[in-house]
Each structure stands twice: as C-alpha cells, then as structure tokens.
Amino acid sequence: MHFSISKDTLCQSIQIVGHAISSNSPQASLRGILLTCKDNTLTLTGSDADISIQINLEPNEENNLNIYEEGKILIDNKYLNEISKKIDSDIINLEIIDGSLTKISGEKVVYKINGMFANDYPVIDFSKPENEFSVFAYQLTSIIEQTSFATAPKETRPVLTGVNFNLENNVLHCTATDSYRLAKKLMPLNYENNFNVTIPARSLSELKSTLIVDDEKRITVALNDKKAQFISDNIILQTRLLDGGYPDTNRLIPTEFSYVLHIERDYLIKAIDRQMFIKTDNLTINNLKCSEDEIILSNKSQEIGESNESLNGTFEGSPLDISFSGTYLMDALKALRGKDINIKFTGSMKPFILESVDDDTTIQLVLPVRTYN
C-alpha cells in the first residue's frame, strides 16, 4: 500500500474514527485504525466492537489524495494521531515497506512505525440496514442532549444504559430512564415502518461528537433489529443495539396533577446550585415546601449544615412538602429548553414531572426521595 494525502484531511479523519477506539482496549487490533486502499478509495476504520466508524475518501482537490498502490495496514491510533498532528509538511506520505513496517514521511521527518497485520482486524459488516430515513442534525442533538443523561450508568439492566427509539403512528418516542428518573422527547417522523430499538448512550455521545457539526445538515439513519447506522457525507457511524425489551414507561408518567409550581428555569438552576455542596452520604437531597404564600427550597446535612432559600414563583394547590435528588432535578432542568417551566406534582411520594411552558415535546420525570427529618 502506498498513498499520499493532505495533513489536514488525514488528521481530521483520524480524529473522527478515533472516537470509536478505546485506547486501553485489551485487544491490540482494536487500538488501531485500519487503513485500506482499494478502487481508488482510502478507507479508515476504527471500532471498539460496539461502535464502529468508517470514513471513505476519494481523491479530490481538497484532500490531495493520491493512491499509488492498493493494500491495507493496521496502525495504533495513538501513533497515527501524534504523527498526523505534528508532522512537518502539508502532505503526508504513507507506504508499507516491509511486512507491517510502515514508512510515514513529511518534509524532513521520516517515521518507520511497526504496524499490525490488517488480517488481525475483526471483520465488520458495514452493509446498510433496510429501514432508512433522514433527520436534521439539530433534531438528533436535541434527542441526545435532552434524554441520554437519564440512562442508567451501570449494567444491572443493560437495556436501561441506552435510549429507546420507538416509532409509532409517525411519532418517534425517545425515552431514557435509570428507574429513578425518566426523560422523554417526542419528534414527528414520517416513515412507513414502525420500529422499537435501544441505542447505547455511549454511541449517541460519540455520534454527537463526530457526525453532528452542522445543525441544518440532514443525517441518514438506517436501522434493523441488530444495528443502527448514522451517515453523513463520507462518514458512517455504526452501533450495535441493546438486547432485551425496553420497559413500557408510559404508565409511569402521571397525567393528572394536584399541584403546579410555575418558575423560571435558570433561576431555579442557580438556587439548586447554591445548595449542591450540602451533601448527606455524598448525595444532595433538596426539599421543597410549597404553599400559595411561600416557596422554600432547603437542604440539610448533619455534617455540613443547612441552607434555606425563599423562591420567587407561583404555586397552585394545597401545601406540599417534597424531597428529591438535587442532582437529578438539576439534570432535568438543564435538559429542558425555554425560560419558564411548570413542575407538576401528584403527591409528596409520587413521581413529578417538569415541562417547559413553550415546548410540550419534552417531559422530564423525577422520583421523590423519602427523608426522615
């Protein structure tokens, strides 16, 4: 294999496929980027077995790609990354010179790097799944930012570590829950086949950092019951799906409420933030005492002390006393959009929901916490 390419193109491509690579993967081949020259195309592939990213480059004026000889080689992502960032030339020349020994040269610097044999790389099937539609990049961003923080961090129930995408009657329901809170985003989507898949939160996070650069761009989504692909220009991000049925969360979301707190979102974020350092057993538990006369946010810890703050807002309903995780409330508030929100309660030990006044497509639900003060 032998090719030359613009430093900028190679550097950017390595950054992107590098997002799929775990630098401490126990499998040496997965710490590498697979470079393949075939049919006048340079393909870069990175993978951690769950997520795989592939970029296909054809020669053009911008990338200055010239393929002199077909072939393939696997090189540690760390080394390619360092070299492509720091080489002393606008054009990088890469050539296999002996087995897997690869010569990479700039203007005066010449590297000879021990590659790995391309045949050691796992075979990854990048064929496009049958269900294909497209969405705007900003729509994916909203879904990811407004739901994925609520997925479960640990794998006690693996399916909860992902965001569920359920298309029913041309409405895409995106849901994440760790069973203590839930985030849900609805999005209209005209597509003939209903589907119900759960995508790992980590894949969505890498999707956001790699494919989503221009909000107004359309991203192709293709999926079946095994995998999902996200495609933008010459980049494919492919992720496995999480196995197992996603729980039916609709019945968890209350629809009738006895109390409503109307408050400014940023103002409440700051008030919670002022009390976050007061922790009990490393958790921040806040308390709200609401009546039509007064709204008091407080937090008390045996060790540290306490904080009390009278909030500006409007409360409707009989007096309510409710405690909850400040961290979860903060996450939910940050995931909403707009200036004003409603927090709707059904009782002091019942889940409550947060909604933006201007946006009924997003629901944040938080479970209260029992306290013994």
Site residues for a copy of itself per CB under 8 A: 76, 78-79, 82-83, 86-88, 101, 108-114, 270-271, 273-277, 303-311
Question: By C-beta, is 117 or 126 nearer to a copy of itself?
Answer: 117
Which stretch of DSSP H or E encloses residue 269? helix 265-275
Which two tokens mark 125?
A: 């099937």
Closest CB 303 distance from a copy of itself, rounded Å: 7
Least gap, CB of 22 to a copy of itself (angstroms): 18
Nearer to a copy of itself, 51 or 80 (CB): 80
Nearer to a copy of itself, 86 or 226 (CB): 86
CA distance linking residue 235 with residue 56, whole number of Å: 7
| Residue 77 to residue 262: CA distance in whole angstroms | 51
- 133-139-141 Cα angle (round to 5): 120
Q: Are 102 and 113 in contact (CB under 8 A)?
A: yes
Nearer to a copy of itself, 116 or 222 (CB): 116
- Of the pair 361, 371, the CB lying nearest a copy of itself is at 371
Rounded to the nearest whole angstrom, what is the least distance from the CB of residue 106 to a copy of itself in the complex? 8
Q: Which is nearer to a copy of itself, 233 or 306 (CB)?
A: 306
Output the six-digit token pair for 52: 């795989």
* Residue among 165, 156, 98, 164 at smallest CA distance from 133: 165
Q: Residue 318 and residue 344: Cα distance in Å, rounded?
A: 13
Shortest distance, position 105 Cβ to a copy of itself, whole Å: 9
Q: In whole angstroms, what is the distance from residue 65 CA to residue 317 CA?
A: 68
Both ends of the chain: CA-CA distance in Å?
A: 71
Please state the separation of Cα 85 from the chain's center in Å: 26
Tokens representing 258 are 């006895």
Q: Give the single-character DSSP code of 283.
A: B
What one-letter code names the amino acid at 273? D
Give least dist CB 30 to a copy of itself, A: 18
Q: How far is the CB of 64 from a copy of itself (least distance, A)?
A: 21
CB 309, min distance to a copy of itself, A: 4
Q: Name the nearest CA neighbour of 355 among 336, 330, 329.
A: 336
Name the residue nearer to a copy of itself (CB basis): 112 or 339.
112
What is the CB neighbour count within 10 angstroms for residue 58?
A: 12
CA distance 259 to 354: 12
Give the nearer residue to a copy of itself in terms of CB position, either 296 or 367. 296
- Residue 204 CB, shortest distance to a copy of itself, in Å, is 31
